[in-house]
Amino acid sequence: EADIYQTPRYLVIGTGKKITLECSQTMGHDKMYWYQQDPGMELHLIHYSYGVNSTEKGDLSSESTVSRIRTEHFPLTLESARPSHTSQYLCASSTNRVLAKNIQYFGAGTRLSVL
């Protein structure tokens, strides 16, 4: 079982609010990722990080921002939530070890609803 945790699991919030989705892993993984997934749809990579102080934008443009101040922590922030941000957000991590084949371990996700 993967040791990667996301909080909150569910969040219902009003338009214009600032929100931060938390993601922490206890596996010492260097790489971390944020995906966005709508119901029945594919995963879209929105942010990733190769290590502390490293952040990159993913394939899907997102108004969210991320930070990586500590290896185990990769929070995602939306400065002003909008209904279009309603989705499920999944955090994942993987190790840099070559033999690990970039296997990603996922958290349970945060289901965000913006009213």
| CA–CA dist 43, 45 (Å, integer) | 7
Among 53, 61, 84, 101, binds another protein (CB under 8 A): 101
Q: How far, CA to CA in Å, does 55 sit from each of 31, 39, 84, 114? A: 10, 27, 23, 25
Among 25, 85, 104, 112, binds another protein (CB under 8 A): 104
Q: Interface with another protein includes 99 (CB under 8 A)?
A: no
Sites of contact with another protein (CB under 8 A) = 2, 6, 33, 40-43, 45, 48, 50, 58, 90, 92, 101-109, 111
